[in-house]
Copies of this chain bind each other. A is one copy, B any other.
């Protein structure tokens, strides 16, 4: 059993986070204690910092853990202390009705389903992390993969790829992805993995569009200087795209997705619409366009993690260049500042003790 103190990045109040000392938690029934060796910061964490997404003061933030099993609670079998593991941002319990009915990401129901780390329980931006339902959630890292190589699996790859998966992309489809932050980049990579033959991505930052081409986009549109809806309709000869993926969470990108969609097409929506949505009649074809609008909270669970690490191992997509900066855990507040600023070409930061 591990006892003692640890450093943990803690939400104090809107606008204030601090690295403070907390007791190392103890693993209860079915739980595991993970020593975190690498983690990262998500756009959602910045929303939490700004008070745009509410969490309890005192909570440790972060939901993207890579680490080593430090301790195992009673009832946990099949895992061993010392194993290198990751857990998904979403931690399905495996035994509730949602999990058994194949909606593990909605484990536990409203309002945020299976997203617990750094939301309803302490998170991963700390020296240690308590993982609930460890047997359902801890996936072994293959020996030949480094921490940074699997750092995108817990959330970014899982969420981005799920945008392509929920869109049910078919071989030969044309796909548009609006916004090319880390999630949107992974959505474009996922569209490529699913067989899309033409992937059109939209953003305003040239460094992101450059990265888009590296992960699989065929055509990049900078919406500063062009109307992406008109451009996409032109590129598809007026036909529209089979699948449009929204990866930002704004009225404008959602509406653009609807406007470039072919009749019968699918809008796969990944964004968090913190301001609600207005769906104009014409963009929506008054509801008669046979459209599908699918929202997706990224799947978790160890089998999902296993699959994503297999994709990394296969070399199908190389997401390592997405880690643009590295920080010590002791510097994590500076890391937030850089990440939130979007300066210096930052995409994802790696945080290690």
Contact A263:B172 (CB < 8 A) given known A106-B290, A249-B287, A295-B289:
no
Which of B105, B135, B171, B270 has a CB less than 8 Å from the CB of A194?
Answer: B171
- From 169 to 212 in chain A, residues with beta carbon under 8 angstroms from any chain B beta carbon are 170-174, 190, 193-195, 197-198
Cβ-based interface call for A280 (8 A) = yes
Q: A30 near B193 (CB under 8 angstroms)? A: no
Cβ-based interface call for A323 (8 A) = no
Which of B111, B197, B303 has a CB less than 8 Å from the CB of A100?
Answer: B303
Cβ-based interface call for A311 (8 A) = yes
Q: A273 near B287 (CB under 8 angstroms)? A: yes
Q: Which residue of B lies closest to A313 (CB)?
A: B197
Cβ-based interface call for A284 (8 A) = yes
Q: A288 near B284 (CB under 8 angstroms)? A: no
Q: B249 near A272 (CB under 8 angstroms)? A: no
Within the complex, what minimum Cβ distance (angstroms) separates A283 from chain B?
A: 9
Q: A172 near B292 (CB under 8 angstroms)? A: no
Contact A289:B172 (CB < 8 A) given known A29-B75, A92-B100, A280-B276:
no
Within the complex, what minimum Cβ distance (angstroms) separates A149 from chain B?
A: 14
Cβ-based interface call for A116 (8 A) = no
Q: B273 near A314 (CB under 8 angstroms)? A: no
Cβ-based interface call for A97 (8 A) = yes
Total residues of chain A contacting the partner, CB 8 A: 86
Q: Pick the most buried of A75, A95, A105, A135: most chain B CB atoms within 10 A of its CB.
A: A95
Q: How far is the CA of A309 from the CA of B104 in the complex (A)?
A: 22
- From 263 to 301 in chain A, residues with beta carbon under 8 angstroms from any chain B beta carbon are 263-264, 269-281, 284-297, 301
Q: A288 near B281 (CB under 8 angstroms)? A: no
Cβ-based interface call for A213 (8 A) = no
Within the complex, what minimum Cβ distance (angstroms) separates A150 from chain B?
A: 13
Q: A197 near B314 (CB under 8 angstroms)? A: yes
Q: Which residue of B lies closest to A192 (CB)?
A: B316
Q: Could you mark each residue 93-120 of chain A with 1 if its beta carbon is under 8 Å from any beta carbon of chain B, else 0?
A: 1110111111111100111110100000
Within the complex, what minimum Cβ distance (angstroms) separates A338 from chain B?
A: 26
A-B contact pairs, 20 of them (CB 8 A): A29-B74, A95-B133, A95-B302, A97-B306, A102-B102, A110-B263, A110-B289, A113-B289, A115-B288, A174-B310, A194-B194, A197-B311, A198-B310, A273-B286, A276-B278, A276-B281, A278-B278, A289-B295, A290-B295, A293-B293
8 residue pairs, one from A and one from B, having the closest CB atoms: A172-B307, A94-B94, A106-B263, A29-B75, A95-B136, A103-B264, A276-B281, A100-B303
